[in-house]
Structure 1
Amino acid sequence: MSLPPDPPLHFRLHVFICTNRRPDDNPRGSCAGRGSEALREHLKDAQKRLGLKDVRINSAGCLDRCGHGPVLVIYPEGVWYSFATTADLDEILDAHLVKGGRVPRLMVDDPAKPQ
Structure 2
Amino acid sequence: MKYQKHIFVCTNERPPGTRPCCGNDHGLALVAAFKKEIKDRQLDFPVRAQKAGCLDICELGPSVVVYPDGIFYGKVQLSDIQEIVNEHIVNNRPVKRLQLDFPQNNILPDSF
* Number of matched pairs: 103
Q: TM-score, normalised by structure 1?
A: 0.82
Identity of aligned residues (%): 38
Q: Does 2:61 match 1:76?
A: no
More helix by share: 1
* Counterpart residue identity of residue 37, structure 2: A
Shift of 1:88: 1.1
* Counterpart residue identity of residue 97, structure 1: I
CA distance in 2, matches of 1:109, 1:63: 14
- Residues 39 and 85 in structure 1, CA contact (< 8 A), matched pair in contact too: yes
Point out where structure 2 has 5 or more consecutive residues left out of the alignment. 104-108
Shift of 1:48: 0.8
CA distance in 1, matches of 2:30, 2:6: 16
CA distance in 2, matches of 1:89, 1:23: 27
CA distance in 2, matches of 1:75, 1:84: 16
Counterpart mapping for 1:60-99 below 5 A: 60-99=52-91
* Counterpart residue identity of residue 4, structure 2: R
RMSD: 1.8
Point out where structure 1 has 5 or more consecutive residues left out of the alignment. 1-8
* Counterpart residue identity of residue 16, structure 2: D
Q: TM-score, normalised by structure 2?
A: 0.84
Q: Does 2:48 match 1:45?
A: no
